[in-house]
Amino acid sequence: MSTQAVPGSGYDLALTRDALQHLPCRRVVASLKNLAFSGVKYLLIGSYRSSANVDIRTGAYFLINLALPPYGIHPDSVYDERHKEDKLLYFYRASELQKEDFAAMAARCGGNETQ
């Protein structure tokens, strides 16, 4: 998702759920950018009500909160999944997400790009 083209042209909505929390920070940023510029109109992305984001190795797991640093992207709408781990679905307009400074977001990740 962070390096492959997302076939968004012709689609209205892309959904990613239970995926980003298994990626290192810089790959999350690359995935968000890839999704934003995929050609879809809207994005529905899984997130959590956690209090902090951590950097991990690919395949590990953490409760990602896209509204908190280093991402800091606030959704247009939030759908509460009413799950014991406080799972949420964040709804974004791709045109708005495209305005994010993904280079600055990646720089806030620090650390190793290839984890």
Spans of all domains in the chain: 13-109
Mean residue pLDDT of the chain comes to 90
Is the per-residue pLDDT at 37 higher than 80?
Answer: yes
pLDDT value of position 92: 98
pLDDT value of position 61: 93
Query: From CA 75, how far away is CA 97, in angstroms rounded?
Result: 9
Query: From CA 43, how far away is CA 58, in angstroms rounded?
Result: 23
Is the per-residue pLDDT at 105 higher than 70?
Answer: yes
Is the per-residue pLDDT at 115 higher than 50?
Answer: no
List alpha helices for the chain, DSSP H.
25-36, 94-97, 102-109
Please compute the mean of the pLDDT values over residues 74-79 and round it to a whole number: 96
pTM score: 0.88
CB of 18 closer than 8 Å to CB of 46: yes
Amino acid at 82: R
